Amino acid sequence: MHTVRFGNSEVEVADVADTLAAARVLEFRDIPADTPFASVIIPDGGDWSSALLSINPQAGAVSASLVACVLEYARTLVAE
């Protein structure tokens, strides 16, 4: 797990292998609220073109600019 700053938002990023779902999951958590607000799921054997974005409805509204930053960051992690 590591911390990334996107504009004014400080976000914790967890990169985990979900063996039950056979996928890699990148979870993005708002640090002050301690709430996961988005996850990017990449199926095993998949690449960026097969990635899915899930927004946590309990997190409330998430700014479009933060979502854009999260997706670009996730894309770089998937490419590594």
**Structural domain that includes position 37:** 2-79
Contacts (Cβ under 8 Å, ≥6 apart) of 66: 6, 7, 9
Cα R_g (the chain), whole angstroms: 12
Q: How many domains does the chain have?
A: 1
CB 43 within 8 A of CB 23: yes
Residue 6: what pLDDT? Answer: 87
Write down the pLDDT at residue 35: 82
Q: What is the rounded end-to-end Cα distance, in angstroms, of the chain?
A: 16
Threshold 0.85, pTM exceeds: yes
| Closest by CA position to 6, among listed 59, 75, 65 | 65
Position 40 scores a pLDDT of 95
Q: What is the pLDDT of residue 71?
A: 94
- Joined together, the tokens standing for residue 27 give 């979870």
Query: Per residue of the chain (80 residues), what is the pLDDT tens digit?
Result: 889 888 888 899 998 887 777 899 999 998 877 888 999 999 998 999 999 999 999 988 889 999 999 999 999 988 87
